[in-house]
Structure 1
């Protein structure tokens, strides 16, 4: 492109810059002055206009708009993150995160993508990962900002997300409740306490309680707990949180570690349906086991092809007890329960 006739050139630090000089009258100072507008520079003897000057020429119709030269060239991985995008949309995770964390949901998604795809990697490695992968946030999250981001997740927003996810799962499937323990060498984690370790590690641990869809295996709620919290003491806190999540018509599936008379009475009090494992030594199980010992249970009529086990079911009565909080009066009643016995030879 030719340099405009009214343009002037000035050399600064060995480089030639091109300006358009426009004289005007300064009414306040009562004198003539000049206003310069930078429009480009001289490169290898040729005038190279800047973007702002080209845009003004296009708007005025002096030149026709042309292709914009690429100023950045990069290659990014997109296959795995595209898959996670589709999963997040299908499961409603993106919509629920956006509703619960409107100003930071993209950062949370990108952080989650990193931890899923780079399992075991420290958070400071996110900087390199973000440059080579296409992800929702699209930019790097410095390690100090990750700490701020995680610390900004307040309880109300988190429970709002749980409530939205729980409604999606509870409409189609049962919800199962279980706990797991995570051992740690750290001396700084306040929740890390010595407890009953299922893996046999002689280390302090943090317990994690999880409520999830029994078919989809997708979580809808979790709680971090001290390592010395017993499973049997979790049900009351779970039911308080469930009330807050505003979930209707729940059916719980739980392991025998959650069994206690108090828990069963609390579940019945709130009219929740439940399926819970019990120990064979309990009276309610032992009396039915005595009925079927020998070859009575091992017959084709009791064999279930779908699970590959012998199974029998019995109707029984539960001694229900409820203590009224104000008067201290105990209500005693009989409630119907079903005992299911499974046998694998």
Structure 2
């Protein structure tokens, strides 16, 4: 059995030895033969093979090397391949894209393992083991993007949804993605969460809460928060029946017209309620003095909170109102709020620029006279109202979840949507679309969606193992991306050897159960 060992000399140079292990019959114990095959280049980290020696033992300049070595990254491929197989993504792609799937997965490898634009991928492909087995020029990537049309994407979504149809809850949300092109019809000017002045396209993302895997995405024309419009968009795609969706939505979806539309469409829902709503005000006032009772304490995701649930009517429909109070969170929020009050007060008194003008207008009374100058007073009524109504409280309404523990659990799992959008923009190079046609844009978003499936699976495994407390996703991908494979083309059969692994690489290999030849 062959392996490689690195040895650092006194001069600091690192030599690489090929070690062949065997059983020595004469000595009756394990033994090995060791042969130096080269050294590590300090600048590049690549293996520099030894030059062949002449028969007299001197280095020959005329003879050609007996072996040709290639050093490529293998770790990125190993991890992405594991994720694609475990999720069923690879199987779905092979069925829907029998010709293009190696090209698609090669692009996904790059997007998951490198935070650079896809147009810079050609050089990366040349130095890493990929599904395609060869480099992928930028021109071919452009052709690939244009070939992944909406009809072909829908076929994939149908197969992918069918594979995940046993799941119970789905979460949905909307985000905006900026584009450098003003020539694409669906790209419009409008408000962006990222405060980006570029034109944008809006995306509706549907994610399975239990597996935290993306189910499908739908491009939207304009910033839509109307449930009827969302329902219409979903049904137009004929991918998921609206009554199959148990949707978890954020506070910005809560208003009367949306609740009426949700009941009318017979969709199951759980929605956060803003403090400005009458439902929230009444619920907090009703439970303010009685919520902190041992009988109301529940545990959700290792966090203890107080909870109460009551059944109300909404236009003759059942509506469960779940009221939560987190005393620890309230203490922290009070401290943060008071510190901000003091900071803004000092800024006002000394005539300095105020960091938050809306905060100033709401919680301070500022007067100025020619004689006394600036006079600053706290708006005690507004401060008291904020502390009583907002700090530590959370209100959630649902038309089908009766239990307060279950309601808060599935709502908090909704964070997978926000994490996915964050990954989409920050980890997977989609903060700004660098395409100039509608066909390429659709294909580009589709590649991002597929990469997001892989990223979500990796994140979930890291979270389950509690690795997220010590390592970020980027650190894990960078570390496993440094795992190198040396191919010796001088052998009769090309021989692949994985360079010595670091301790963290060994831990990653063990966590994700990566098989040979990666380990």
TM-score (norm 2): 0.45
Aligned: 1:86 with 2:82 = yes
Does the CA contact (< 8 Å) of 2:234 and 2:240 recur in 1?
no
Q: Secondary structure at the match of 1:288?
A: helix
SS in structure 2 at match of 1:308: strand
Give secondary structure in 1 for the equivalent of 2:95: helix
Q: Does 1:178 find its partner at 2:173? A: yes
Contact 2:157/2:239, CA 8 A, preserved across alignment: no
Alignment partners' CA distance in 1, 2:203 and 2:95 = 25
SS in 1 for 2:71: coil
Asked whether the 8 Å contact 1:163–1:246 carries over to 2, the reply is no
Which of 150, 159, 181 pairs up with 1:155?
150
Counterpart in the other structure of 1:336? 318
Please report how far the alpha carbon of residue 286 of structure 1 lies from its aligned counterpart in structure 2 after TM superposition.
3.5
Counterpart of 1:296 in structure 2 is 290
- Aligned in 2, Cα 1:102/1:225: closer, same or farther, shift over 3 Å? same
- Structure 1: which 4+ aligned runs deviate by more than 6 Å? none
Question: Secondary structure at the residue paired with 1:277?
Answer: strand
Higher RCO, 1 or 2 (CA under 8 Å, sep at least 6)?
Answer: 2
C-alpha contact (below 8 Å) 1:232/1:259 kept by paired residues: no
Q: Which residue of 1 aligns with 2:212?
A: 217
Q: Measure how far apart 1:221 and its partner are.
A: 0.7
From the superposition, tell whether residues 266 and 104 of structure 1 become closer, same or farther in structure 2 (CA, over 3 Å). Answer: same
- Per-residue CA deviations over 1:100-142 (Å, capped at 9, x if unaligned) read 112211111111111211212342x332222221111212222
Provide Cα deviations, 1:261-305, integer angstroms capped at 9, x if missing partner: 44333433343221112223334444333322x322232322323
In structure 2, distance between residues paired with 1:216 and 1:288: 33
1:176 counterpart SS class: strand
- Higher strand residue share: 1
CA distance in 1 between counterparts of 2:196 and 2:132 reads: 39
Give the Cα–Cα distance (whole angstroms) in 1 for the partners of residues 237 and 286 of structure 2. Answer: 38
Query: Is the 8 Å Cα contact of residues 236 and 263 (structure 1) preserved in structure 2?
Result: no
1:73 shift after superposition: 4.6
Q: 1:245 to 1:129 in 2, by over 3 A?
A: same
CA–CA separation in structure 2 for the residues paired with 1:127 and 1:201 = 29
Question: Any idea what the Cα deviations from partners look like across 1:49-108, whole Å, max 9, x if unmatched?
Answer: xxxxxxxxxxxxxxxxxxxxx997533211111111011001000111112112211111
**For 1:1-345, what aligned pairs fall within 5 Å after superposition?**
73-123=69-119, 125-184=120-179, 186-226=181-221, 228-232=222-226, 234-241=229-236, 243-245=238-240, 249-292=244-287, 294-306=288-300, 307-319=303-315, 334-344=316-326, 345=330
Q: Separation in 1 of the partners of 2:132 and 2:247? A: 37
Contact 2:73–2:129 under 8 Å retained in 1 = yes
Name the SS for the 2:70 alignment partner: coil
Larger radius of gyration: 1
SS across alignment from 1:86: helix
Q: In the alignment, is the contact (CA less than 8 A) between 2:242 and 2:265 conserved in 1?
A: no
Q: Is the 8 A contact 1:207 1:224 kept in 2?
A: yes
| Cα pair 2:208 2:214 within 8 Å, conserved | yes
Q: Is the 8 A contact 1:167 1:247 kept in 2?
A: no
Q: Secondary structure at the match of 1:74?
A: strand
Pairwise CA RMSD: 2.7
Structure 2 residue matching 1:102: 3-state secondary structure: coil
Name the SS of the counterpart of 1:305 in structure 2: strand
Please identify, of 238-247 and 94-103, the stretch whose mean Cα deviation from structure 2 is larger: 238-247
Question: In 1, Cα distance between the equivalents of 2:260 and 2:237?
Answer: 17
